[in-house]
Chains A and B, each alone.
Chain A
Amino acid sequence: MTLSRPVLITGLLALTLVAAIGSILFGPVHLSLARMFAAFTGHGDRIASTILLELRLPRMLLGLGVGAMLGLAGAALQGYLRNPLAEPAVLGTSNAASLGAVAALYFGLAELHPIMLPALSVLAALLSLVGLSVLAGRSESPLTLILAGIAIATLATAGVSLALNLSPNPFAAMEIMTWLLGSLENRSFDHVWIAYPCIAIGGLLLFWDGRALDALTLGEDGAQALGVDIQRTRIRLLLGTAIGVGGAIGFVGLIVPHLVRPLTDRSPSAILLPSAIGGAALLTFADLAVRLIDTKNELKLGVVTAFLGVPVFLIHLMRERRLW
């Protein structure tokens, strides 16, 4: 069912708005609408103001930004690799980012300044790109890139395991595990100011090559003969992914392009914006679910998105087996 682009974008924006409002309205502490309104207009009590402006608002903004970036990166990489199962993890980028973050936690650098963890995460992702480029060489084949990505991902995962293995005490290991599960908890505006410039740069790099991704429908030769510089496209996409996606929340980049693709004309460029908006909505809803589902230990966002990823694989499997 193809929807016209304005209808699809408007619909997704409306959904995102609902998620964003939900993210502000609901949380472990119940706040009446009147208290929230007062807090937003600057006349509220201190508790309500703190909860809304220093906890829920940055958490909502991060959910939207991170989700948008994950959806966009997934859509762009699926287009570039011409593989519907691609997402940042396929190229080892997110694993390397995780390793950077784990290193920040392991060596205690994360406590020095809030920017250390995300900075190391982006740095490790960028370093993984260097490794990826060396391993894949100038080959334009998506398979070469995926194989190189698997090598990088394996190395990064081994590094994370090593950190867990050698962690000085169970609390340090727990801290690393908690981060790896993925969460938007306890985020402040400091995190927003760090994340949004990265998201803006990464997003621009990923949006830049929409037409080149479309051209790749015709294969490498066909795209290059249409004037696409595949090497540059690849560098922009990988840089965009590395800069914009620095975290351990998986599957959003895989799920969202699949959900929006049937509603578009299925061209890679047509799913970029809807995937970004859809990603923002999905992650914000998932983060809302984390807060609303009552569990003994707190549910982590990465766990919820991982569960959401399963049906996508099953649907693919059923389509391959022509059961659906």
Chain B
Amino acid sequence: MVNIRLENVAVTLGSRIVVQNASTVFGPGTLTGIVGPNGAGKSTLARAMLALVPHKGLIQIDDSDVATLPRAELAKRVAYLPQGQTLHWPLTVERLVELGRLPHLAPMSRIGEADTAAIERAMERADVLGLRDRIATELSGGERARVLLARALAVEAPALIADEPLASLDPGHQIDVMELLQAEARAGGLVIAVLHDLTMAARYCDRLVLIDGGTVVAEGTPAEVLTPANLKSVYGIDARVELTGDWPTITTLGRSR
């Protein structure tokens, strides 16, 4: 079981303070959505958790400080699906998913049976077994998103951070990805997704962390976080929020005057 704890985290990029005073805890078995307007610091916060940007304050994975944890060790504990779908070489799907085993391999070593099994499991969970021999750069956006997710799953880390996994996906593929992330959380994983689509966030996430101006302004269940008042103050929009089943549905009415 894994926990990620943030205490007064601050990140400065160049001369700009992007994240400040951010404190929260992410626990196992939970799909947490990080939401907030453009430029709020969501992705930077996610990158700080992976030690991809230097930070001040404390970010702990279980009892280890990510600032001092060796990168290879951090990679075994937290899998990361970066923003965007850029692939620099036309690898086959299988080779791409295989990259997820890198944290478990010594330099110049070959992949073993355990790695092959993990690759198969990841491809099965992301439903990309049929794409195995296809060239990843030639896939459709939806297929590529699933393949990249399979790559992150192949790490078999207890925690997974996905940065905007729904970007450029149609509604059907968005649901596929969210269901997959939800299933990972149901299986005991700590899953964090940076999301822009509030409807999807409300529908699938167990918990939301609302970020504005680089700091956490609200956290809790989607119904607790996505209130008309929060939407107005953070996004500057008027919205109607209704509870449909267990989750809130948001109808945007317009810009706040």
What residues of chain A have their CB less than 8 Å away from a CB belonging to chain B? 79, 82, 207-212, 214-219, 221-222, 224-229, 265-268
Distance between Cα atoms of A165 and B78 in the complex (Å): 58
Residues B82 and A225 in contact, CB atoms below 8 Å apart = yes
Q: Which residue of B lies closest to A219 (CB)?
A: B86
Q: Which residue of A lies closest to B109 (CB)?
A: A211
Residues A225 and B72 in contact, CB atoms below 8 Å apart = no
Residues A227 and B87 in contact, CB atoms below 8 Å apart = no
- A residues near B82, Cβ cutoff 8 Å: 218-219, 221-222, 225
B91 is an interface residue with CB less than 8 A from chain A: yes
Identify the 9 closest CB pairs spanning chains A and B, nearest first: A227-B75, A225-B80, A227-B72, A82-B88, A227-B103, A226-B102, A221-B82, A222-B82, A217-B89
Q: Which residue of B lies closest to A221 (CB)?
A: B82
Residues B89 and A82 in contact, CB atoms below 8 Å apart = yes
Distance between Cα atoms of A222 and B80 in the complex (Å): 7
Distance between Cα atoms of A191 and B134 in the complex (Å): 47
Known contacts A214-B95, A215-B99, A227-B72; can you find 19 more A-B pairs with CB under 8 A?
A209-B107, A211-B105, A214-B91, A214-B99, A217-B89, A217-B91, A218-B82, A219-B86, A221-B52, A222-B80, A224-B51, A225-B75, A225-B82, A226-B102, A227-B75, A227-B102, A265-B95, A266-B91, A267-B95
Residues A267 and B89 in contact, CB atoms below 8 Å apart = yes
Which interface class (under 10, 10 to 19, 20 to 34, 35 or more) fits B?
20 to 34
- A residues near B103, Cβ cutoff 8 Å: 226-227
- B residues near A215, Cβ cutoff 8 Å: 99, 102
Distance between Cα atoms of A229 and B84 in the complex (Å): 21
Partner of A211, one of B52, B80, B102, B151: B102
B166 is an interface residue with CB less than 8 A from chain A: no
User: For chain A, what secondary structure do more than half of its interface residues adopt (helix, strand, loop), or is it mixed?
Assistant: helix
Distance between Cα atoms of A207 and B108 in the complex (Å): 7
B39 is an interface residue with CB less than 8 A from chain A: no
- A residues near B91, Cβ cutoff 8 Å: 214, 217, 265-267
B173 is an interface residue with CB less than 8 A from chain A: no
Distance between Cα atoms of A219 and B71 in the complex (Å): 16
- A residues near B80, Cβ cutoff 8 Å: 221-222, 225
Partner of A218, one of B87, B90, B107: B87
B10 is an interface residue with CB less than 8 A from chain A: no
CB distance from B149 to the nearest CB of A (A): 13
- A residues near B105, Cβ cutoff 8 Å: 211
B76 is an interface residue with CB less than 8 A from chain A: yes
Total A-B Cβ pairs within 8 A: 82
Proximity bits, B29-45, A CB within 8 Å = 1, else 0 = 00000000000000000
- A residues near B84, Cβ cutoff 8 Å: 219
- B residues near A211, Cβ cutoff 8 Å: 102, 105, 107-108
CB distance from A122 to the nearest CB of B (A): 24
B226 is an interface residue with CB less than 8 A from chain A: no
B74 is an interface residue with CB less than 8 A from chain A: yes
A229-B86 contact in complex given A207-B108, A209-B107, A217-B91, C-beta closer than 8 Å: no
B56 is an interface residue with CB less than 8 A from chain A: no
Residues B50 and A218 in contact, CB atoms below 8 Å apart = no
Partner of B108, one of A210, A214, A222, A226: A210
- B residues near A222, Cβ cutoff 8 Å: 80, 82
B222 is an interface residue with CB less than 8 A from chain A: no
Residues B87 and A217 in contact, CB atoms below 8 Å apart = yes
- B residues near A214, Cβ cutoff 8 Å: 91, 95, 99, 102
Distance between Cα atoms of A204 and B11 in the complex (Å): 38
Distance between Cα atoms of A70 and B50 in the complex (Å): 36
Distance between Cα atoms of A266 and B86 in the complex (Å): 16
Distance between Cα atoms of A226 and B47 in the complex (Å): 13
Interface CB pairs A-B, < 8 A, 8: A208-B107, A215-B99, A218-B86, A218-B87, A219-B86, A226-B155, A228-B102, A265-B95
Residues A226 and B99 in contact, CB atoms below 8 Å apart = yes
Q: Which of B96, B99, B100, B108 has the most CB of A within 10 A?
A: B99
Q: Which residue of B lies closest to A83 (CB)?
A: B88
- A residues near B76, Cβ cutoff 8 Å: 227
- A residues near B119, Cβ cutoff 8 Å: none
- A residues near B107, Cβ cutoff 8 Å: 208-212
CB distance from B71 to the nearest CB of A (A): 5
CB distance from B101 to the nearest CB of A (A): 9
